[in-house]
Chains A and B, each alone.
Chain A
Amino acid sequence: DADVTQTPRNRITKTGKRIMLECSQTKGHDRMYWYRQDPGLGLRLIYYSFDVKDINKGEISDGYSVSRQAQAKFSLSLESAIPNQTALYFCATSDLGEVTGELFFGEGSRLTVL
């Protein structure tokens, strides 16, 4: 089983619908992140969390919200999806004690908003 698991892997929805992407990890890492990836662009950080009580906005947080339900779980919500939120979304984790700050990514959730 993957150390960082995302659900759903694929979702097609309509404009205005609420969508939740879930991420769970078995790596025991404190730090969790949500990124989106669009063709021709670098990964862009949406939100990140360094522990259960810590939530921070990233580069492109507008239109998104997150919840850190437990150390192992970090969910991303789109309250009212719009077509330009169509993208590939990645959850990632890192270990506070790892000097390199290496990120471990989930397999991605492909979201299409019609």
Chain B
Amino acid sequence: GQNIDQPTEMTATEGAIVQINCTYQTSGFNGLFWYQQHAGEAPTFLSYNVLDGLEEKGRFSSFLSRSKGYSYLLLKELQMKDSASYLCAVMDSNYQLIWGAGTKLIIKP
């Protein structure tokens, strides 16, 4: 079967750095996505990786290793507004998105 694994919850301190990991086992691979979802709101797109390596976008970076079935989202200079759930999703060989359950990130002052 296909599955996406990510930690259920993480806690970090304002101003610090946090890394949210995602491992996947899917039928084929056509890209990995990270979305941010604030409580009670819609998910919003953060990043897309299809090749190995690091993609940097401001305070957020996303890394992919296809051979290891592994990605991480790195958040720097954490702000209180970064408190949210972070969803990892992989597009399989049929171009269907497989979603992880999400990682709830709690930021403490």
Residue pair B41, A108 in contact (C-beta under 8 Å): yes
A42 near B: Cβ within 8 Å?
yes
Whether A40 contacts B97 by the Cβ 8 Å rule is no
**CB of A107 within 8 Å of the partner chain:** yes
Minimum C-beta distance from B46 to chain A (A): 10
Closest A residue by C-beta to B47: A100
Of residues 4 through 47 on chain A, the ones whose CB sits less than 8 Å from some CB of chain B are 40-45
Which B57-105 residues have a C-beta within 8 angstroms of A?
A: 87, 89, 91, 95-102
Given A42-B101, A42-B102, A101-B31, residue A107 in contact with residue B41 (CB < 8 A): yes
Complex: A113 Cα to B48 Cα, angstroms: 36
**Binary interface encoding of chain A residues 92-114 relative to chain B, with 1 for a CB under 8 A from any of its CBs, else 0:** 00000000111111111000000
What residues of B have a CB within 8 angstroms of the CB of A101 in the complex? 31, 48, 91, 95, 97
A100 touches B42 (CB 8 A): no
- Tell me the chain B residues, 2-58 only, with Cβ under 8 Å from chain A: 4, 8, 31, 33, 35, 40-45, 48
Docked pose: A103 CA to B48 CA in angstroms = 11
B89: A residues at CB distance < 8 A: 42-43
B43 / chain A contacts, CB cutoff of 8 Å = 43, 90, 103, 105
Residue among A40, A45, A102, A108 making CB contact with B45, cutoff 8 Å:
A102
Chain B positions within 8 Å of A90 at CB level: 42-43
The minimal Cβ–Cβ distance linking A100 to chain B, given in whole angstroms, is 4
Could you show 27 A-B contacts with beta carbons less than 8 Å apart?
A: A40-B8, A42-B4, A42-B87, A42-B99, A42-B100, A42-B101, A43-B87, A43-B89, A43-B99, A45-B96, A45-B97, A90-B42, A100-B33, A100-B48, A101-B31, A101-B95, A101-B97, A102-B33, A102-B45, A103-B43, A103-B45, A103-B97, A105-B44, A106-B42, A107-B41, A108-B40, A108-B41
Binding site for B on A (CB under 8 A): 40-45, 90, 100-108
